[in-house]
Structure formats: C-alpha cells, structure tokens
C-alpha cells in the first residue's frame, strides 16, 4: 500500500458529497443568521457590523482563563444529543429528495435545529453570566473597558 497513488484512493459517492455539501451550506446559513442577528447592535449602542458579532466580542474580550471556564460551563450544560439535533444535513438531503415533497418534514427539521441552537445560546449566556459573577468589581470594570475599546476601534459603518 505504500505505492498507493491519489488515483487509487476511494472517492466519496456523489450522493454523499451532496449530503456533505448540503450540511455545510445549512450550517453556514445558520451561523450567518446568528452572526447577522449579533451584528445589529452591541451593549454600548455601537454598530458591530464592521467587524464581528456581539457574542464574539463578549467572548474575545474575556481573559483567557475565563474563556476556558466558559467553554467548560457550556460543555456541562449542553449534552451531545442536543448538539446532534443541530446537525440535520443528511435528513434535510433525504427530505429534499422525497417524492412527494413534504414541507412539514422540512419545517420540523428546521424547528429542531433552531431549538438546538437556542439551547446552545442559552447555555453560552448562562455560562458567560456565571463567569461575570465570579469576577471582582475591578475585573468587571476592566472587562467593560475592553468592550468599550473594542467598540471604539471598529471602523465607521459604510453607507
């Protein structure tokens, strides 16, 4: 097998490649919607559309150890089954190919994925608040200053 060439390697079937493509597209759509929602405004009343989402800024400006704590908190609050519920790519592929087409099946898949997303967001929010609760007043003040500085550092939105 050491002489195996790229042409000898097995390739994914067309159907499997389509499933992976649909799954990726769906995940990007959901992430895009979440980022878009976060781009509308920040707690300081500034437009975040120029650089990154609110959630990302709130996370990025935490000290490294607090980010680790937040990740642990989220992992403890969200089980693997909930995460699995957010991945509907192969089921969506099957539902799109079904004849007759069943719009209710698509709707149920999207509802299930949206619920899993909400669960993840709620876990992230609860973990973030827990991290904030553990900060001293001076640490929270420094964090608030970093958030303000991050908002000021963004370029003005383009018309």
At 100 the pLDDT is: 92
Q: Would you list the DSSP string of the chain?
A: -TT--GGGS----HHHHHHHHHHHHHHHHHHHHHHHHHTS--TTS---TTT--HHHHHHHTS-HHHHHHHHHHHHHHS-HHHHHHT--HHHHHHHHH-SS--HHHHHHHHHHHHHHHHHHHHHHHHHHHHHHHHS-HHHHHHHHHHHHHHHHHSPPPP-
At 48 the pLDDT is: 43
At 104 the pLDDT is: 92
Best mean pLDDT range from 25-29, 99-103, 116-120, 154-158: 99-103
At 147 the pLDDT is: 87
Can you tell me the mean pLDDT for 138-145? 92
pLDDT tens-digit readout, 33-91? 665 555 454 444 444 444 557 778 888 888 899 888 888 888 887 777 776 666 777 88
Tokens found for residue 82: 């909930």
In the chain, domain spans: 13-153
Tell which wins on pLDDT, 21 or 140.
Answer: 140
Q: Would you list the DSSP string of 121-153?
A: HHHHHHHHHHHHHHS-HHHHHHHHHHHHHHHHH
CB 114 within 8 A of CB 124: no
- Chain mean pLDDT for the chain: 76
């Amino acid at each position: 097998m050491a002489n195996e060439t790229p042409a000898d390697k097995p390739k994914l079937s067309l159907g499997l490649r389509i499933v992976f493509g649909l799954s990726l597209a769906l995940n990007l759509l959901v992430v895009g919607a979440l980022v878009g929602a976060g781009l509308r405004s920040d707690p300081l009343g500034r437009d975040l559309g120029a650089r990154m989402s609110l959630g990302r800024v709130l996370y990025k400006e935490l000290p490294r150890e607090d980010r680790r704590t937040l990740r642990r908190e989220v992992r403890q609050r969200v089980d693997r089954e909930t995460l699995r519920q957010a991945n509907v790519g192969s089921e969506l592929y099957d539902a799109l190919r079904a004849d007759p087409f069943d719009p209710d099946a698509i709707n149920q898949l999207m509802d299930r994925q949206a619920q899993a997303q909400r669960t993840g967001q709620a876990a992230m929010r609860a973990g973030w608040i827990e991290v904030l609760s553990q900060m001293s007043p001076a640490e929270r003040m420094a964090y608030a200053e970093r958030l303000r500085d991050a908002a000021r550092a963004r370029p003005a939105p383009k018309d």
